[in-house]
Chains A and B, each alone.
Chain A
Amino acid sequence: MFMLNKYIIFLCIIIIVSFTSLIYTKELPLPEGEGKALILSKCNLCHGLDVVINQRLSKLEWEDIVNRMIRWGAPISSREQEIIVEYLYKNFGQK
Chain B
Amino acid sequence: MNFVYEKLMGGKQGLLGFVLLAALILVIMPMFFDIFRLNLIGKYLTYAFAAVSLVLLWGYGGILSLGQGVFFGLGGYGMAMFLKLEASSPENTKIQSTPGIPDFMDWNQITELPWFWVPFESFTLTIIAILTLPALFAYIIGKAMFTRRVGGVYFAIITQVIAVILTILIVGQQGFTGGINGITDLRTLNGWDITSDSAKYFFYFLNAGLLLTVIVISRFILTSKFGSLLLAMRDKEDRVRFSGYDVAHFKIFIFSFAAMISAIGGAMFTLQVGFMSPSFVGIVPSIEMVIFAAVGGRISLIGAVYGTLMINAGKTAFSESFPELWLFLMGGLFISVVMFFPNGLAGLWNDYAPRVFPFLKEKAKTKDVPPVVTDETGKGTV
A, B: real partners: no
User: Which residues does B use to contact A, with CB under 8 Å?
Assistant: none
A→B interface (CB under 8 Å) = none
